[in-house]
């Protein structure tokens, strides 16, 4: 991601990861095999629990020790057995071949790499979504990727079959943008796609932008959603959320001041009631203070900014999430992180609106003020239950929580998915775990991804874990499948948790 008016860069990946992948790839390649465009995976016995946690690294990649951070997830809603995940994982066979994604066709039991992105070797940032409907049983995948092989270029692309080895079709591309974040809605006339980006091509430093396609990606329109004066740019995070009735929300950080260490920022939410199909979208909400488009949920929040390790080995400054009830578009939740009030480094907050974003809770919802934490991700299930995923630095460990509530967090259920050492391994580049993780609902499950230390230790995963890669849980070591030890690293993990009644 990028930062500030002087255009200091806060890269999602580029400079650090590329160097390490180049250094590591000659050591890792001998352990890999390729069959029909896929990297084959073998499964270990799943954890004996209704809660499932799976290390995404396939058995054939057991020798790898990359920092596979910053995960994302897409689910084919018409066929939820099919999912696509991603992380900062390099192509293990080719320095110039396509960057891969992870594909599951059995509901997350097993995962394999498929090198189909239109970016060579590794992506800088990648997010993606699979729309409902149409005739693509293995997924109509829409992705926004940053290609840093020559400058920074955004590719907005599509695959109609994620099981195919065909490279995704690039439908739109341009430079000077950061941190694409993709959502999609399938309708009878074709997919509607919404890509939140921090767009430095916009005038007056009003960089918060949604790229909108209402024709399945055939054409895109860049819509500036910031209407107020900025400190030369908005924050990197621009997050859309879509309800089934076509209501589209987006949240962003409106940077009003920046001193190099702290952004004085508004948390702003915009809304469109017609799937952003009109001539002037995202103007349905205005703020009573100035009558401008965009409701200010929180004004002048102090957001610490560091492109160096600040929260353990992780950088900070861009944590933001928004979720809308898929069946009741009047209900919307937003979560973010700022300096907080108790002297901690980074504090998470969650607030909600029940009237289409017109008014918002004045204080954090009960139990959602989380100190020394990052990577908030919100989702709402079909029964209205809200999921709140985050990672907290506590007692020298990264603890990954999924909290669920059906009553605005007056009562809640907290599931700890992982609690792993925060000081191991040493970071190879930033972000260490990622600038985001992700959460979705699928039927009666919450499904998501997070990144963590991959030590094979059942004590680190309270509800069990399945490793595809070769691991010795007795010795708590990884190996390359032939018994040779492999260093501990950061891996992406998939999880599914039943939605509470």
Domain spans, the chain: 2-498
Residue 165: φ, ψ to 5° = -90, 5
pLDDT for the residue numbered 362: 96
Strand 320-324 and strand 314-316: pairing? unpaired
For the chain, 501 residues long, give each residue's pLDDT as a single digit of tens.
433 333 334 444 343 344 333 333 333 333 333 333 333 333 344 445 799 999 999 999 999 999 999 999 999 988 899 999 999 999 998 888 999 999 999 999 999 999 999 999 999 999 999 986 555 666 689 999 999 988 899 999 999 999 999 999 999 999 999 999 999 998 877 899 999 999 999 999 999 999 999 999 999 999 999 999 999 999 999 999 999 999 999 999 999 999 999 999 999 999 999 999 999 999 999 999 999 999 999 999 999 999 999 999 999 999 999 999 999 999 999 999 999 877 789 999 999 999 999 999 999 999 999 999 999 999 999 999 999 999 999 999 999 999 999 999 999 999 999 999 999 999 999 999 999 999 999 999 999 999 999 999 999 999 999 999 999 999 999 999 999 999 999 999 999 999 999
Distance of CA 434 to the CA centre of its chain: 8
CATH code: domain 2-498 is 2.130.10
61: helix, strand or coil:
helix
pLDDT for the residue numbered 36: 32
Please, what is the Cα angle at 490 between 156 and 455, to 5 degrees?
Answer: 150
Closest by alpha carbon to 155, among 117, 193, 121?
A: 117
Residues 484, 454, 10, 103: is their CA dihedral positive or negative? positive
pLDDT for the residue numbered 236: 97
pLDDT for the residue numbered 188: 77
Distance of CA 316 to the CA centre of its chain: 15
pLDDT for the residue numbered 138: 62
pLDDT for the residue numbered 93: 87
On whether the CB atoms of residues 173 and 158 are closer than 8 A, the answer is: no
Alpha-carbon span 355 to 394, nearest angstrom: 36
Residue 461 tokens read as 């995963």
Alpha-carbon span 428 to 425, nearest angstrom: 9
Alpha-carbon span 439 to 436, nearest angstrom: 10
pLDDT for the residue numbered 177: 96
405: helix, strand or coil:
strand
On whether the CB atoms of residues 305 and 261 are closer than 8 A, the answer is: yes
């Amino acid at each position: 991601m990028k930062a500030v008016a002087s255009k200091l860069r806060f890269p999602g990946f580029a400079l650090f990861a590329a160097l390490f992948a180049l250094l590591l790839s000659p050591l890792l390649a001998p352990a890999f095999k390729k069959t029909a465009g896929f990297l084959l995976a073998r499964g270990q016995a799943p954890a004996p629990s209704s809660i499932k946690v799976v290390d995404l690294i396939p058995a054939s990649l057991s020798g790898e020790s990359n920092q596979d951070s910053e995960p994302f997830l897409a689910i084919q809603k018409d066929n939820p057995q099919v999912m696509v995940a991603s992380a900062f994982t390099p192509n293990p066979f080719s320095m110039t071949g396509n960057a891969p994604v992870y594909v599951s066709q059995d509901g997350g039991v097993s995962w394999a790499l498929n090198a189909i992105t239109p970016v060579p070797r590794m992506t800088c940032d990648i997010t993606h979504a699979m729309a409902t409907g149409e005739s693509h049983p293995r997924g109509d995948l829409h992705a926004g990727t940053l290609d840093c092989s020559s400058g920074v270029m955004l590719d907005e692309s599509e695959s109609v079959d994620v099981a195919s080895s065909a490279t995704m079709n690039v439908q739109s591309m341009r430079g000077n943008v950061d941190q694409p974040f993709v959502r999609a809605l399938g309708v009878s006339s074709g997919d509607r796609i919404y890509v939140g980006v921090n767009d430095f091509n916009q005038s007056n430093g009003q960089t918060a932008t949604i790229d909108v396609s209402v024709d399945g990606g055939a054409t895109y329109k860049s819509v500036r959603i910031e209407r107020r004066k900025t400190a030369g740019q908005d924050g990197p995070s621009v997050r859309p959320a879509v309800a089934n009735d076509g209501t589209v929300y987006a949240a962003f950080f409106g940077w009003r001041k920046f001193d190099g260490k702290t952004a004085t920022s508004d948390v702003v939410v915009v809304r469109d009631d017609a799937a952003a199909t009109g001539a002037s979208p995202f103007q349905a909400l205005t703020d009573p203070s100035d009558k401008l488009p965009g409701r200010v949920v929180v004004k002048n929040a102090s957001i610490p900014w560091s492109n160096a390790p600040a929260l353990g080995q992780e950088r900070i400054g861009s944590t933001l999430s928004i979720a809308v009830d898929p069946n009741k578009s009047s209900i919307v939740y937003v979560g973010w992180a700022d300096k907080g009030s108790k002297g901690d480094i980074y504090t998470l907050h969650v607030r909600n609106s029940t009237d289409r974003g017109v008014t918002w809770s004045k204080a954090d919802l009960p139990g959602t003020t989380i100190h020394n934490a990052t990577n908030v991700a919100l989702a709402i299930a079909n029964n209205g239950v809200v999921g709140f995923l985050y990672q907290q630095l506590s007692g020298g460990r990264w603890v990954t929580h999924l909290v669920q509530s059906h009553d605005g967090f007056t009562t809640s259920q907290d599931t700890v998915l992982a609690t792993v050492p925060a000081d191991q391994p040493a970071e190879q580049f930033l972000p260490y775990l990622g600038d985001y993780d992700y959460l979705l609902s699928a039927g009666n499950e919450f499904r998501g991804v997070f990144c963590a230390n991959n030590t094979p230790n059942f004590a680190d995963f309270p509800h069990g874990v399945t490793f595809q890669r070769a691991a010795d849980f007795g010795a708590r070591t990884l190996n390359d499948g032939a018994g040779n030890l492999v260093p501990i690293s950061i891996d992406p993990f998939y999880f599914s948790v039943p939605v509470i009644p």
